[in-house]
C-alpha cells in the first residue's frame, strides 16, 4: 500500500448526514465524517454510544435510514444485487470482536475461501497467497490447524489475514482485542500497527488508548450516536474539548 497524493482520491470514505434508528430509537444522528486514504482513525466512546453500528454501516452489515456513505465515490448503500454487494463488501475488510472464523475449515482454508468464491481466484494461487499472509501475521506454522486449536490471539490474527486476502483498500476493526486474554492483546495490536505503517486506511473501534495514542492519525469520540469530537491523539489526550470526552478519559484512569 502506498499513500496517494491525489487530492481527488484523498477522501476514501465519506459519511454524509447518516442517520439510523432501531425502531423509534435513534442510534446514529446525522453523522458527517471523512477518512482520507492511508489515514488511521480510532473511534472511541462509551458503551452503547453507537460505535459498532457506525462501523457496521460502512460495509453495510447495517442499513441506514438516511444520508449517504461512499467509498472512493461509490455509494455503499445504493440499491444493488447480492453479487454487487459482495463485491463491494470485499473491498472493505472487517475484523470482528469474536473472530468469526469458520470452525470446520482449516486456517489456510479460512484465508483462501473468499478469494476463491468471490473473486474466482484459482485454489492453488489463493492457497499460496494464504500462506504468505499467515506468515505475515506470524502464523505460517498454523496453516493446517483448525480455529479451535488456536488461542484467541492467534484466531484474531487469522481473521486479519482472511480480511487481507481480499486486498481491501480499507480495513474496519470492531474491538478486535476486547475478547482476548490480556497477554494476547499485544500480538494483535502489533499486526494492526504494522498494517497502519504500510499505509492501510483503517477505522478501529477500540478501548486500547495506547494504540490510539501511538497509531491513530485522528480520534473520533462518539457519544449518544453523534461524533462530538474529532482530534489528533495529542489534542484528544492532552486537551479534550468536550466535557463528555473529558469524563470518558477521566474514567479510564
Site string for Mg ion, 49-68 (x = CB under 5 A): --xx----------------
By DSSP bridging, strand 226-231 and strand 218-223 are: antiparallel
Residue that is written with C-alpha cell 492501510 in the block: 200
Beta carbon nearer to Mg ion, 109 or 174: 174
What's the min distance (Å) between Cβ of 47 and Mg ion? 7
Distance CA 251, CA 23 (A): 31
Beta carbon nearer to ligand ADP, 52 or 155: 52
What's the min distance (Å) between Cβ of 89 and ligand ADP? 19
What's the min distance (Å) between Cβ of 208 and ligand ADP? 15
Q: Of residues 13, 15, 27, 35, which one binds ligand ADP by CB under 6 A? A: 27
End-to-end CA distance of the chain: 36
- For the chain, strand residue ranges (E) read 11-22, 25-36, 40-44, 66-71, 74-75, 92-95, 170-174, 201-205, 218-223, 226-231
Q: Of residues 5, 24, 47, 124, which one binds ligand ADP by CB under 6 A? A: 47
Assess contact for 219 and 233: CB atoms under 8 A: yes
Taking CB under 6 A as the binding criterion, the range among 31-39, 48-56, 119-127, 194-202 that sits at the site for ligand ADP is: 48-56
3-state secondary structure of 85: helix
Beta carbon nearer to ligand ADP, 21 or 86: 21
- What's CA 249's distance to the chain center, in Å? 22
Distance CA 202, CA 148 (A): 28
What's the min distance (Å) between Cβ of 197 and Mg ion? 26
Q: Which does 27 bind (CB under 5 to 8 A by kind): ligand ADP, Mg ion, none?
A: ligand ADP
40 is a contact residue toward ligand ADP (CB under 6 A):
no
Residue that is written with C-alpha cell 506468515 in the block: 135
- Rounded to 10 degrees, what is the CA torsion of 141, 142, 145, 146? 180
Q: Of residues 9, 17, 32, 48, which one binds ligand ADP by CB under 6 A? A: 48
Q: Which does 22 bind (CB under 5 to 8 A by kind): Mg ion, ligand ADP, none?
A: ligand ADP
Residues that bind Mg ion (CB under 5 A): 51-52
Residues that bind ligand ADP (CB under 6 A): 22, 27, 47-53
Amino acid at each position: 500500500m502506498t499513500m496517494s497524493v491525489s487530492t481527488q482520491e484523498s477522501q476514501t470514505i465519506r459519511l454524509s448526514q447518516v442517520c439510523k434508528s432501531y425502531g423509534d430509537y435513534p442510534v446514529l444522528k446525522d453523522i458527517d465524517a471523512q477518512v482520507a486514504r492511508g489515514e488511521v482513525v480510532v473511534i472511541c466512546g462509551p458503551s452503547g454510544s453507537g460505535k459498532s453500528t457506525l462501523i457496521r454501516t460502512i460495509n453495510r452489515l447495517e442499513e441506514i435510514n438516511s444520508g449517504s456513505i461512499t467509498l472512493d465515490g461509490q455509494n455503499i448503500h445504493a440499491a444493488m444485487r447480492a453479487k454487487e454487494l459482495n463485491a463491494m463488501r470485499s473491498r472493505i475488510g472487517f475484523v470482528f470482536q469474536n473472530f468469526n472464523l469458520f470452525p470446520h475449515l482449516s486456517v489456510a482454508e479460512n484465508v483462501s475461501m473468499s478469494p476463491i468464491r468471490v473473486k474466482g481466484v484459482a485454489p492453488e494461487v489463493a492457497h499460496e497467497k494464504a500462506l504468505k499472509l499467515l506468515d505475515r501475521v506470524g502464523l505460517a506454522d498454523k496453516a493446517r490447524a483448525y480455529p479451535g486449536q488456536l488461542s484467541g490471539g492467534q484466531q484474531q490474527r487469522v481473521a486479519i489475514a482472511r480480511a487481507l486476502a481480499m486486498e481491501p483498500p480499507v480495513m474496519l476493526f470492531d474491538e478486535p482485542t476486547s475478547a482476548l486474554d490480556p497477554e494476547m492483546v499485544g500480538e494483535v495490536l502489533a499486526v494492526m500497527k504494522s498494517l497502519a505503517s504500510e499505509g492501510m486506511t483503517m477505522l478501529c473501534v477500540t478501548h486500547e488508548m495506547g494504540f490510539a495514542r501511538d497509531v491513530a492519525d485522528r480520534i473520533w469520540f462518539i457519544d449518544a450516536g453523534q461524533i462530538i469530537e474529532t482530534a489528533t491523539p495529542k489534542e484528544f489526550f492532552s486537551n479534550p474539548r468536550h466535557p463528555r470526552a473529558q469524563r470518558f478519559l477521566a474514567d479510564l484512569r
